[in-house]
Amino acid sequence: MFNTTEVYVVAHSLVPGGRHYEKGLKELFAEAFLRVLDQVGNSQIGAIYVANAFSQVLQDQSALGAFLSDYVGLRRVPAIRIESGDGSSGVAMLEAYNMVKAGIYDCVAVVGVEKMHDVVSIKLNKALATITDYEYEGFFGVTPAAQAAMAMREYMLKYGYDYEDLAIWPIKMHERGSKNPYAYMRKQATLKDILESEVVADPLRLYDTAPAVDGAAAVVLCNKPLRDNAVIKIEGVGIGAYGTYLGQRDSLTELVSVRDATNMALKMAHLSINDINLVEVHDTYSILGMLALESMGLVRPGETPRLLSMGALDAGNKPVVNASGGLKAMGFPGGASGMYEVVSMVMELMNEKPFDSLGKVEYGIVQDMAGFDLISTVMIFRRVG
């Protein structure tokens, strides 16, 4: 028989991304984790899943989970670090979901944590380059930004866009972020700002990149709600992969792992993509956000810049894209990025400020991804009650 246990998000917390020089990795973890522990009334947490990409490179620390659980006084609770590059959070959520779904634990915590600003830029950039195939790509200077730039150039040529057309993504994300007190970038951006920003990897500019931040975010997943009012249920999860070496790709304008993960999650949830009201996509670079929407089937290929410029993906429409401002505004906390998306989605579905203007909607979807289409996870959340 199949296990019919349901999985609910019963607590959530988020430490706004920033340059937290006064806090170490342990302090950031504790701040996010202890908040959710308070919310669940010290319920029995069977395990802690820690999403982290770079602790061995940036903090010289392995076996991270054990040190973090001990730091918060739970040395007998197993804490497992999940590393899948900047897509670590989605994989950690998937593993935690499976443990509750299978009946192994009644409740588990998932915490994404990353400390990006304790090192000089050259060491941080070296860490980020490990998301590429380092032997064949990173070693020769093919960075994640360079990969995104190649995809942006192909997208522009394929669909007949100028760079100014694609600048609508950072404009919209900054607009959303300006209304979100949890965002790192809380200011609007004009087309002039974007065009005058430095080129990172032609045609990619500074405003197309999510700023690196220190941060932590957490949720608790349980097999039953812990309150009588509205709760968030995980209706479907999916995972997909598409190899590593970029030279093998037939096209850079379709994210195959995202497509496969989305189809898997929708099948599990018995939904179509048209049922989705809200979406949070992994926009470490603006082009990846656009490609994610199109690969998920939420937008027809090549249509994202046009729909964004028309306001068709803004609040009041369906779907609403990155109401949080996305990683572009929230910041890019490495392996914790997906947890920022998850917590933002929970807040959006629960109509918590600053998302109380979205209205009561039922379904939201979160997409997290490692590198350029290496491995992706997709989670469908439903507001119940």
Cβ 357 vs Cβ 270: under 8 Å: no
d(CA 303, CA 186): 27
What is the number of structural domains in the chain?
1
- Write the pLDDT tens digit of every residue in 250-291: 899 999 999 999 999 999 999 999 999 999 999 999 999 999
Buried b (16+ CB within 10 A) or exposed e, 76-97: ebebbbbbbbbbbbbbbbbbbb
212-216, 228-232, 250-254, 327-331: least confidently modelled range: 228-232
- DSSP string over 56-104: HHHS---SHHHHHHHHTT-TTS-EEEE-BTBTHHHHHHHHHHHHHHTTS
Rg (CA), the chain: 19
- Write the pLDDT tens digit of every residue in 334-371: 999 999 999 999 999 999 999 999 989 999 999 999 99
User: Residue 133: its pLDDT value, please?
Assistant: 87
Q: Is residue 25 part of a domain?
A: yes
Q: How confident is the model at residue 2 (pLDDT cuts 50, 70, 90)?
A: very low
**Three-state DSSP class for 243?**
coil
Q: Is residue 348 part of a domain?
A: no
Q: Is residue 280 part of a domain?
A: no
199 has which bridge partners?
A: 205
Count the residues in the chain.
385
Q: Is residue 245 part of a domain?
A: no
Q: Which domain does 38 fall in, by range? A: 8-120+216-222
* Tokens at 377, concatenated: 């996870």
Q: Is residue 200 part of a domain?
A: no
User: Residue 3: its pLDDT value, please?
Assistant: 54
* Tokens at 323, concatenated: 């109401």
Is a pLDDT exceeding 50 seen at residue 186?
yes
d(CA 273, CA 269): 11
**Beta-strand (E) ranges in the chain?**
8-18, 47-51, 79-82, 107-114, 199-201, 204-205, 214-222, 231-241, 278-280, 320-321, 363-370, 375-384
Q: In 204-332, where does DSSP find H-type helix?
A: 256-269, 286-296, 304-310, 326-330
Q: Is residue 29 part of a domain?
A: yes
- Write the pLDDT tens digit of every residue in 96-138: 999 999 999 999 999 999 999 988 888 998 888 889 888 888 8
Q: Is residue 164 part of a domain?
A: no
Q: Is residue 246 part of a domain?
A: no
Q: What is the CATH number of the domain that holds 97?
A: 3.40.47.10
Q: How confident is the model at residue 233 (pLDDT cuts 50, 70, 90)?
A: very high
- Write the pLDDT tens digit of every residue in 15-67: 999 999 999 999 999 999 999 999 998 668 999 999 999 999 999 999 999 99
CA distances from 251 to 134, 152, 159 (A): 21, 12, 13
